Structure formats: C-alpha cells, structure tokens
Amino acid sequence: MSPSQESVYPEYEADSSQTSKLIRKFKETPFVPIGMAGFAAVVGYGLYRLKHRGNMKMSLHLIHMRVAAQGFVVGAITCGVLYSMFQEYVVKPKE
C-alpha cells in the first residue's frame, strides 16, 4: 500500500495483538464471552462427571452434555439479542 492511499479499515490494520483484538470484540459483544465460558464450564463439568455416571451409557451422557452446552450458548445469544434490542429501542430516544 502506498503512503498516499488511506486505509479503508484502519482499526483492523493497526499493529495489535490477538489479545487486544479479542478484548475489543468482547467489549463490543459482552454476551459472547459469557456463552463461551458457560460452554467451557458445562463441558468441563460433563467430563468430570463422566467417571461417576453410574450405569448410564456413554452416548446418552455425551448427548446430555452436548444439549446442556448448546442450551447455555443459545441462552447467552438470546440474552445478547434481547439486550441489544432493549438498548436500541427502549433506552435510545426516538429521533
């Protein structure tokens, strides 16, 4: 890119680390890290409980774990959409 041309996306071309990009994205969409953390927590708990599942089949345990993790992520996405709709239509004054 020549020095005379301006960048189309200056915020994305700045020399920044992956961590700073991740933090910026988390600030823009706060329910994404909540969903990711919940997913990781459900999977971690499911793997911990894998030893103590009793006589439950492995496939049934994994299906329950998957449904719980997906439910947490879908719940976080739904809360994020509702929050953004609330900010856009209720808090922001109509112009």
pLDDT per position as a tens digit, 27-71: 877 888 888 888 899 989 988 888 888 888 989 988 999 999 899
Q: What is the dihedral of CA 47, 51, 55, 61, to 10 degrees?
A: 0
pLDDT of residue 88: 84
As a whole number, mean pLDDT of residues 71-77 equals 89
* Judgement on whether residues 60 and 38 belong to the same structural domain of the protein: no
Position 77 in a domain: yes
* Judgement on whether residues 36 and 68 belong to the same structural domain of the protein: no
* Judgement on whether residues 49 and 20 belong to the same structural domain of the protein: yes
Which residue segment(s) compose the domain that 70 sits in? 55-94
Position 87 in a domain: yes
pLDDT of residue 25: 77
Position 5 in a domain: no
Contact 31, 80 (CB under 8 A): yes
Contact 29, 76 (CB under 8 A): no
> Does residue 24 surpass a pLDDT of 70?
yes
Contact 79, 73 (CB under 8 A): no
Contact 76, 31 (CB under 8 A): yes
